[in-house]
Structure 1
Amino acid sequence: MADGQKILVTGAAGYLGSILCEHLLDQGHEVTAVDSFAHGIPSLAHLCAKPGFDLLRADVRDSGTMKPLYTKHDVVIPLAALVGAPLCAREPEAAVSVNLTAVETMLSVLGRDQRILMPITNSGYGIGSKDGYCTEESPLNPISLYGRTKVDAEAAVLAHGNAISFRLATVFGMAPRMRLDLLVNDFVHRAVTDRSIVLFEAHFRRNYIHVRDVARAFLHGLEKFDTLRDNVFNVGLSDANLTKRELCEKIKEQVPALQILEAPVGEDPDKRDYLVSNAKIEATGYVPAYSLETGIAELIMGYRMINAKRFTNV
Structure 2
Amino acid sequence: MARILVTGGAGFLGSHLCDRLLERGDEVVCVDDFSTGRMANLAHLEGHPGFRLIRHDIAEPIALECDAVLNFGCPASPKAYQSDPVRTTTTCVNGTLNMLRLADACGARLIQASTSEVYGNPGVHPQPEGYHGAVSCTGPRACYDEGKRCAESLVFDFRRHHGLDAKVVRIFNTYGPRMHPHDGRVVSNFVRQALEGNALTVYGDGSQTRSFCYVDDLVDGVMAVLDAPAGFAGPVNLGNPAEISILEVARRVIALAGGGAGIRHAPLPIDDPVRRRPDIALAREALGFAPRVDLEEGLRRTMGAFAGAPPEAAPTGMHRWGRQGPDLVPQPPH
Report the equivalent of 2:7: 10
Distance between the aligned counterparts of 1:179 and 1:282, measured in 2?
Answer: 33
The correspondence for 1:154, drawn from 152, 155, 158, is: 152
TM-score between both structures, scaled by the size of structure 1: 0.86
Deviations along 1:104-163, one digit per CA (max 9) or x if unpaired, are: 122234328421111111022111237x31111112223422111111111211221222
1:230 lines up with 2:233 in the alignment: yes
Q: Secondary structure at the match of 2:153?
A: helix
Q: Which residue identity does 1:126 align to in structure 2? A: G
Give the distance between the partners of 2:56 and 2:257, measured in 1 at CA: 42
Opposite residue 173 of structure 2, the aligned amino acid is T
What is the aligned-residue identity percentage? Answer: 23
Distance 1:291 1:179, change over 3 A: farther
Query: For residues 88 and 107 of structure 1, what CA distance do their matches in structure 2 show?
Result: 22
Q: Distance in 1 between matches of 2:81 and 2:49?
A: 36
Report the CA distance between 1:89 and its aligned residue: 2.6
Which residue matches 1:27? 24
Number of residue pairs aligned between Structure 1 and Structure 2 = 302
Task: Answer whether contact 2:69 2:99 (CA < 8 A) is retained.
Answer: no
Distance 1:260 1:276 in 2: 30
Does 2:115 align with 1:121?
yes
Instruction: Report what 2:246 is aligned to.
Output: 244
Give the Cα separation in 2 of the matches to 1:85 and 1:189.
Answer: 17
What are the superposed Cα offsets for residues 49-73 of structure 1, whole Å, 9 maximum, x if unpaired? Answer: 323222212221232xx1x22xx21
CA distance in 1, matches of 2:158, 2:120: 25
Instruction: Specify the alignment match of 2:214 in structure 1.
Output: 210
Aligned equivalents of 2:261 and 2:270: distance in 1? 22
Cα gap change, 1:303/1:169 in structure 2, threshold over 3 Å: closer, same or farther? same
**Which has the higher mean CA deviation after the structures are superposed, 96-105 or 42-51?**
42-51
In the alignment, structure 2 segments of 5+ residues that lack a partner are: 160-164, 322-334
Q: What's the counterpart of residue 219 of structure 1?
A: 223
Read off the aligned partner of 2:128 and give its amino acid letter: T
Superposed CA RMSD: 2.5
Q: 1:292 offset after TM fit, Å? A: 1.4
Measure the CA separation in 2 of the matches of 1:270 and 1:244: 16
Name the aligned partner's letter for residue 106 of structure 1.
Answer: M
Q: Report the equivalent of 1:289.
A: 292
Question: Taking structure 1 as reference, are residues 247 and 76 closer, same or farther at Cα in structure 2, changes over 3 Å only?
Answer: same
